[in-house]
């Protein structure tokens, strides 16, 4: 039986709308899941569905509105001071755009030494240590005293990844780490992340809007829509046997290089744009765009239904009648 490293229970994050005392943006709304040690949970969904807010809330970069975050058997939902710093040492984040997440006034050496000094980790020979670390992510000594603007996008993201893992964390949130990179570089970064996971037994939460990339990286997949998880399960199960209409739509949108297969593929077509998280629709939040919506979908929020082992969907189509 795999050991749970992170468990999230009924997590909510609401933002108050400026100029209003009653309106709130329901960015993350009653989300629950768990991630096993050494595995990757992929979180996929359209832009604005709450994926990045979920990752930042779990890492306590922003405080949750309610719910619980259990990390390595300890409730870290409200910890502060030294306890929060200790949590951050074990839980790190790689941001989407390395161009904005790296300090342009610091050399690569200074950027990498900052977490080492912050957590008072003893290193006998700093330059030798940094060169060894850089070589592990495909860079070299020649990059040590350069500034971020002197590196390519892929090189900057390698530095950002190394900065996150240099303190040997247990858990890393990867917030669309390849979306700002060229396709050829994306593949290299994904392989690097997989290799680092094997070397250090890292646990990942991989956030992306590309379900094909999520499938390649993940052991389990959670599909988010408008602040809620609508389907979660093993990666192969969700990818090859999707249940929720929104998951089917995401999968049908994946490009297929074979024109004949692309023509023959059954597509799920949905209309319109996602509703506002300030004023989500009643009942199922997907019902205004769902081709299979029923009257009950417009009135009642769908329950979480375990259709098969470790495969949960929030959809009235699978509710017992």
Q: What is the pLDDT of residues 135-176, one digit of tens each?
A: 999 999 999 999 999 999 899 999 999 999 999 999 999 999
> What's the total number of domains in the chain?
1
b (16+ CB within 10 A) / e for 32-61: ebebbebbbbbbbbeebbbbbbbbbbbbbe
Q: What is the pLDDT of residue 275?
A: 87
Range of the domain at 142: 4-318
Q: How many alpha carbons fall within 13 Å on the CB side of residue 111?
A: 27
User: Has residue 38 got a pLDDT over 70?
Assistant: yes
More confident residue, 265 or 292: 292
| CATH code of the domain covering residue 161 | 3.40.50.300
The predicted structure's pLDDT at residue 269: 75
| pTM reported for the whole predicted model | 0.92
For range 35-50, the mean pLDDT: 94
* pLDDT given at position 20: 80
Is the pLDDT at 321 greater than 70? The verdict is no
């Amino acid at each position: 039986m795999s050991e749970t490293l992170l468990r999230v229970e009924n997590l909510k994050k609401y933002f108050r709308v400026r100029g209003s005392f009653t309106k709130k943006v329901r960015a993350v709304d009653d989300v629950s899941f768990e991630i096993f040690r050494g595995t990757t949970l992929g979180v996929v969904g359209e832009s604005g569905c709450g994926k990045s807010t979920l990752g930042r809330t779990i890492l306590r970069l922003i405080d949750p509105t309610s719910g619980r975050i259990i990390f390595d058997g300890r409730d870290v939902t409200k910890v502060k001071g030294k306890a929060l710093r200790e949590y951050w040492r074990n839980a790190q984040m790689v941001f989407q755009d390395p161009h904005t997440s790296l300090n342009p006034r610091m050399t690569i050496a200074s950027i990498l030494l900052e977490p080492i000094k912050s957590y008072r980790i003893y290193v006998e020979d700093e330059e030798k240590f940094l060169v060894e670390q850089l070589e592990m992510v495909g860079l070299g000594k020649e990059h040590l005293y350069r500034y971020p603007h002197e590196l390519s996008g892929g090189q900057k993201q390698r530095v950002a990844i190394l900065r996150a893992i240099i303190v040997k964390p247990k858990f890393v949130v990867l917030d669309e780490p390849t979306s700002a990179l060229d396709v050829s570089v994306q593949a290299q970064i994904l392989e690097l992340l997989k290799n680092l996971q094997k070397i250090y037994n890292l646990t990942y939460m991989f956030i992306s809007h590309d379900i094909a990339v999520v499938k390649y990286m993940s052991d389990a997949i959670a599909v988010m829509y408008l602040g809620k998880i609508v389907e979660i399960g093993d990666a192969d199960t969700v990818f090859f046997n999707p249940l929720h209409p929104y998951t089917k739509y995401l999968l049908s949108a994946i490009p297929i290089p074979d024109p004949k297969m692309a023509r023959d593929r059954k597509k799920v077509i949905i209309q319109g744009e996602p509703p506002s998280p300030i004023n989500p629709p009643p009942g199922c939040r997907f019902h205004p765009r769902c081709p299979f919506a029923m009257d009950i979908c417009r009135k009642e929020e769908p329950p979480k239904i375990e259709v098969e082992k470790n495969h949960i969907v929030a959809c009235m189509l699978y509710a017992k009648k």
